[in-house]
Structure 1
Amino acid sequence: MHPSTLPEPIAAYFAAEHNPEALARCFTPQAVMKDDGHTYTGVEAITAFMAEASAKYSATTVPFALEREDGLQIVRAKVTGNFPGSPINLFYRFRLERGLISLLEVTA
């Protein structure tokens, strides 16, 4: 899947996976992210979690499918890194508001 086929905020999110400053520009101020059984609210909490995960797992994410369902953009992506079970395919469920990500849920 070519990144240009993804909506702009989602393409920017995946392009910035190892750059917390660029990630911060992808989200609304009160965005919510749910990942690995935890919920992170607000840009600071989300980018802190992402920076920690990036340093710990050195993961690389490659989107390969996009669907739309109930107002969500659902991206399937292959994630490879330094974690048990790598590589793994994950679902990224995005809700977009005014060109930014307001909700992101990551599940297996």
Structure 2
Amino acid sequence: MHDNQSRTSTQDTLPEVITRYLNAHRAHDTAGAITAFTREATVIDDGHTYEGAEAIGEWLDRSATEFSYTIHLTGAQQTDATRYIATHHLEGDFPGGTVDLRYQFTLHDGLIERLVIEP
């Protein structure tokens, strides 16, 4: 019984829209990933801000082709009614070779309104 309460590191913690985005992103499916965002969504990654579906689509395309890497979900938690954090471990041919990143999601009407990715 207590086991279920301590399961913070599984995708079960995350809403369907976030797992849909993460799975599509992992599969380099930009069209599928974009459907998880609101039209006016904002993504902040590596100090750069991308606003709106078109800019986010370009960011997704670029991040899918710029480096080769594996990504594993290592933790997931809900921080309030609309905010979730998914921690990922990445390994690949990018500078440094490995990194742990926190994907901080804010939802609005069942879609991702804001995503901040940072170490």
Indicate the SS of the match to 2:38.
Answer: strand
Match runs of 1:1-108 below 5 Å: 1-17=9-25, 18-70=28-80, 71-108=82-119
Q: TM-score, normalised by structure 2?
A: 0.83
CA RMSD of aligned residues (A): 1.5
CA distances 1:46-87 after superposition (whole Å, capped 9, x unpaired)? 111111111011233211111222542011111122201122
Whichever residue aligns with residue 98 of structure 1, its letter is: D
Answer with 1 or 2: which has the greater Rg.
2
- Matched positions, count: 108
Unaligned runs of 5+ in 1: none
Stretch of structure 1 that moved more, 38-47 or 66-75: 66-75
Q: Give 2:11's aligned amino acid.
A: P
Runs of at least 5 residues in structure 2 that lack an aligned partner in the other structure: 1-8
TM-score by length of 1: 0.90
